[in-house]
Amino acid sequence: MSVSKHSIVIQELRVTNLNLIKENQELQLAKDAAELLNLKAKLFYEFSPIGHYSIDCNGTILHANNSGAKLLKKNSDDLISLSFSQFINEKHLTDFNTFLLKAKEVNPENFCDVELTVNKNNNIFVKLNGVFLEKEQHYVITAIYRTKKEQIKKKIEENSFFFKETQRIGHIGSYRYGISTNFLETSEELLVIFGIELMRDLTIKTWLDVVHPQDRQIMLEYVNECIKNHITFRKEYRIIRKNDGQIAWVDGWGEIIFDDETNQYILIGVIQDITQRKLSQEKIQNAETRSHRIFESSKEGILILDAITGQITDANPFLIELIGFNYEELVGKELWEIGVFKNIAASKEAFIELQNKEYIRFEDMPLETKAGKSIAVEFVSNVYMVESDKVILCHIRDISDRKKVDEALQESSQLYFAMFEKNQAPQLLIDPLNGKIIDANSAAAGFYGYSLKEFKSMNLSDISTFPSGQILDEMKKLTLAGQSYFQFIHKLASGETCDVEIYTSPLLISGQSLLISTINNITKRKLEEERLVQLNHQLNEVNVLKSQFISTVSHEFRTPLAGILSSVQLLKIYNDTWDKEKKEKMFKQIFDAVQHTKALLDDVSLIDKEQTSKSFFRPTSIQLLPLINEIIEENLNISGTNHKVILKSNLDNKIYHMDAIMIRHIFNNIISNAIKYSSETKKITIDMDETNNKEIKFVVKDKGIGVPNEEIKYLLEPFYRASNIGTVKGTGFGLSIVKRFIDLHNGNILIESTLGKGSKITIILPYLNQENTKSDFINKMELNLATLNQL
């Protein structure tokens, strides 16, 4: 059993040994294949037509294959430890360093074209490709040799690109025109200049269509002449761009040459867009034209000097006429050689000062003309750069008239200040720009209560009640309007205010625009004017009331009188034929009309203020309740209606001290109105109560037509009648008289009304019973009347 197990183990070991031998043989075969492959790769690397280099991060060559060494004309061993950069042409070093940086970024398209310097007499062009091995920390670079043909092709491409960019930057397009074929070739930039889209077939007509219509015929003739005579083409002309319709200026060059390949004459040349240059030239030309016009037409003398030599190079016509020297006598001479200018530049030191300071000014200097006439002038010189030359520009102004004006103004100013100080009216001198008080006369100091020193530190806002902003606005208006008049309210030093009128005029003193204001106190006059306005207003109101009164009274009297007249005429005609009842009816109409007329006369008589004044007010002891009952009965009889008037009295006393006539009129009017404007089916109530043992309260209620709420406040005014009364007769001044009589009793009246539901009138009258004295009552009434008269 043990022998058997031992045999099995030996057998397994043999099998394992055979497997190991087999694997070892396979590994040997793989090793041989790998060595063969490595040998092939090494042979390929060493004998590859492409140069291979390994360089470290510092650019040192670690290894190079045979092709790489041959490119650099050295042995592989000689390249070790050399810097690859030393073989790169200086002009390509930047490109090479950028190439190395990109190689670290693992850019698969990383390459660059460089020129290698092999030796002093031999340079070659190569295309470099490379990658960076992160683990080994070195570059693997391949170099492909560029043939001369490839270099020429690349150079042509570069030149073509350069040519296109040059055309684009310079706005220059090129063309080639076959004279016999009429075929036109253009660069892309020329199509951009013309605003034409890319076209296959271009002809001379394509170009003509772009030329401005006004230049088209001239350009066609000019081109034909150049072609015919084989002369150089050069012309500036206008075009209209096809894509946007804009007008542009171009400058065209062209020459006729003979093409050996096609055996034909062709016109070649370039066209440049010069629009901006043209516009700039026009601006410069316009500026020069304007400058020349200013120089020629200026109303002051102008001299131009050479800043180095001091010689006169130009003079304008005004100066020539001013000093009497002609142009030839001035130009080419030094400034101090001209006798007329000896006072301006008495020596060369003055000229040197001008050269150094580049500015000199003489405010007032005598100038003697060629004829010996003396002129006062202002002489101003400045140094300017004109292109690359320094020139001196001199302005000479004749100030003779200005000096006379200044002298006259100085005399006027002296005269003005003498008049200003001695004027009895207050006067202020004001700066219109800020409202500052520049000066004040003694009269102003006395009027306002400020000293002259205080005034000179004040502003208009210190004495005016207007806001400072509004004052400045008014000042601006005054400077434009000239002389002005307005009214203000001014404050005095004492704190009082007064109305003033101000007359203001503009004034020029020492070149400063000021305002002189003369002030008058019009406080009393304003009060009188206001009183006059009030009197006129009252007079107008009286006239209106008078017209209303005459119109109303005449209308109201005409109606009853017409009724009386017609009734009398009818009685006269039909007296014998009418029966007693008919006659009684007619007599009643006459009676009613007479009663109405009498009532109208009573109202008219009561309108007179003398009859409603203190002298007419005569209170006596009266039995109030019987009087009110009597008034009710009278009004019911006069109305001839079946109205019911219910009187309720809670009075303790029977006798009261009042004016019986006025009481009768008050309640006649109130009760008659209640009857007139109420239906017979509606009751009218009158309540009488004493309050506080000193007043009687009367409340009259009806359920009539009422008064619109917005009209109640006008009912106590003369001649006013509510808008809803219809045909009911009346004068409209009854309630105004009622109000006056109640005021004379020192009482009050309150009217409340609802449209369509009725009215409520509350009257409160003070009284004196028998225990009071009559004198106390009269004294109280007189006091009230005095108050009313003041109102």
Per DSSP, 146 falls in state: P
Residue 112 forms beta bridges with which residues? 128
Class of domain 48-146: alpha beta
How many contiguous H segments (helices) and E segments (strands) does the chain have? 22, 27
Angle at 385 between CA 379 and CA 387, to 5 degrees: 140
The C-alpha atoms of residue 670 and residue 660 are separated, in whole angstroms, by 15
Residue 655 has pLDDT above 80, yes or no: yes
Instruction: Of 428, 412, 411, 421, give the one whose Cα is nearest residue 515.
Output: 428
Helical ranges in 575-659 per DSSP H: 580-607, 624-639
Across the range 161-186, mean pLDDT stands at 73
Q: Which amino acid is at 264?
A: Q
pLDDT of residue 318: 86
Terminal C-alpha separation, the chain: 160
pLDDT of residue 685: 92
Backbone phi, psi, residue 27, to 5°: -65, -35
- Residue 390 makes CB contacts below 8 A (sequence gap 6+) with 306, 307, 308, 383, 384
Work out the mean pLDDT of the chain and round it to a whole number.
78
Question: What is the three-class DSSP state of 192?
Answer: helix
Instruction: Of 624, 629, 693, give the one whose Cα is nearest residue 654.
Output: 624
Across the range 766-776, mean pLDDT stands at 55
The C-alpha atoms of residue 634 and residue 602 are separated, in whole angstroms, by 15
Place of tokens 């090479």: 96
**Exposed, middle or buried by CB within 10 Å (0-12, 13-18, 19+), for 627?**
middle
Comparing 560 with 216, the larger pLDDT belongs to 216
Is 228 within 8 Å of 212 (Cβ atoms)? no
The C-alpha atoms of residue 699 and residue 684 are separated, in whole angstroms, by 11
* pTM above threshold 0.85: no
Angle at 37 between CA 33 and CA 43, to 5 degrees: 145
**pLDDT tier for residue 552 given thresholds of 50, 70 and 90:** low
Q: Sketch the domain layout of the chain as residue ranges.
A: 14-43, 48-146, 155-279, 298-398, 404-521, 609-790
pLDDT digits (tens, 9 = 90+) for 288-322: 777 778 788 888 888 888 877 778 888 888 888 88
Place of tokens 């930039």: 189
Of the listed ranges 266-280, 310-324, 343-357, the one predicted with least confidence:
343-357
Place of tokens 């300017």: 384
Instruction: Of 215, 32, 241, 56, give the one whose Cα is nearest residue 133.
Output: 56
Residue 44 has pLDDT above 70, yes or no: no
- Residue 530 makes CB contacts below 8 A (sequence gap 6+) with none
| Topology given in CATH for the domain delimited by 404-521 | Beta-Lactamase (3.30.450)
For residue 2, CA distances in Å to 14, 17, 396, 597, 790 come to 19, 23, 146, 176, 162
**pLDDT tier for residue 68 given thresholds of 50, 70 and 90:** confident
Residue 771 has pLDDT above 60, yes or no: no
Residue 612 has pLDDT above 70, yes or no: no
**pLDDT tier for residue 413 given thresholds of 50, 70 and 90:** low
Element (H, E) at 751: strand 748-754
**pLDDT tier for residue 783 given thresholds of 50, 70 and 90:** very low
Identical topology for domains 298-398 and 609-790: no
- Residue 672 makes CB contacts below 8 A (sequence gap 6+) with 635, 638, 639
Of the listed ranges 146-150, 174-178, 656-660, the one predicted with least confidence:
146-150
pLDDT of residue 199: 63
Across the range 189-200, mean pLDDT stands at 79
Residue 173 forms beta bridges with which residues? 271
pLDDT of residue 240: 93
Across the range 208-214, mean pLDDT stands at 90
Residue 384 has pLDDT above 60, yes or no: yes
Architecture per CATH, 609-790: 2-Layer Sandwich (3.30)
Comparing 647 with 664, the larger pLDDT belongs to 647
Q: What is the DSSP string of 108-143?
A: TT-EEEEEEEEETTEEEEEEEEEEEETTTTEEEEEE
Q: For the chain, what is the largest distance between any 2 Cα atoms, rounded to a whole number of angstroms?
A: 195
User: Which of 209-223, 584-598, 649-663 is most confident?
Assistant: 209-223
**pLDDT tier for residue 791 given thresholds of 50, 70 and 90:** very low
Backbone phi, psi, residue 786, to 5°: -60, -40
The C-alpha atoms of residue 565 and residue 324 are separated, in whole angstroms, by 111
Across the range 518-523, mean pLDDT stands at 88
Across the range 510-535, mean pLDDT stands at 85
The C-alpha atoms of residue 36 and residue 321 are separated, in whole angstroms, by 112
pLDDT of residue 558: 64
Comparing 694 with 166, the larger pLDDT belongs to 694
User: Which of 124-133, 168-177, 407-416 is most confident?
Assistant: 124-133
Is 302 within 8 Å of 395 (Cβ atoms)? yes
* 437-440 vs 484-491, strand pairing mode: unpaired
pLDDT of residue 554: 62
Of the listed ranges 207-221, 471-485, 743-757, the one predicted with least confidence:
471-485
Q: What is the DSSP string of 354-371?
A: HHHHSEEEEEEEEEE-TT
Across the range 118-132, mean pLDDT stands at 81
CA neighbours within 13 Å on the CB side: how many for 466? Answer: 16
Across the range 532-541, mean pLDDT stands at 81
The C-alpha atoms of residue 407 and residue 419 are separated, in whole angstroms, by 18
298-398 to CATH, choices 3.30.2450.30, 2.60.40.1180, 3.30.450.20, 3.40.50.300: 3.30.450.20
Comparing 56 with 725, the larger pLDDT belongs to 56
Per DSSP, 60 falls in state: B
User: Which of 419-423, 477-481, 585-589, 703-707 is most confident?
Assistant: 703-707
**pLDDT tier for residue 67 given thresholds of 50, 70 and 90:** confident
Is 676 within 8 Å of 617 (Cβ atoms)? no
Q: Which amino acid is at 166?
A: T
pLDDT of residue 66: 83
pLDDT of residue 741: 85
Residue 177 forms beta bridges with which residues? 184, 267
The C-alpha atoms of residue 714 and residue 753 are separated, in whole angstroms, by 13
| Topology given in CATH for the domain delimited by 155-279 | Beta-Lactamase (3.30.450)
Element (H, E) at 266: strand 264-273
Across the range 594-619, mean pLDDT stands at 64
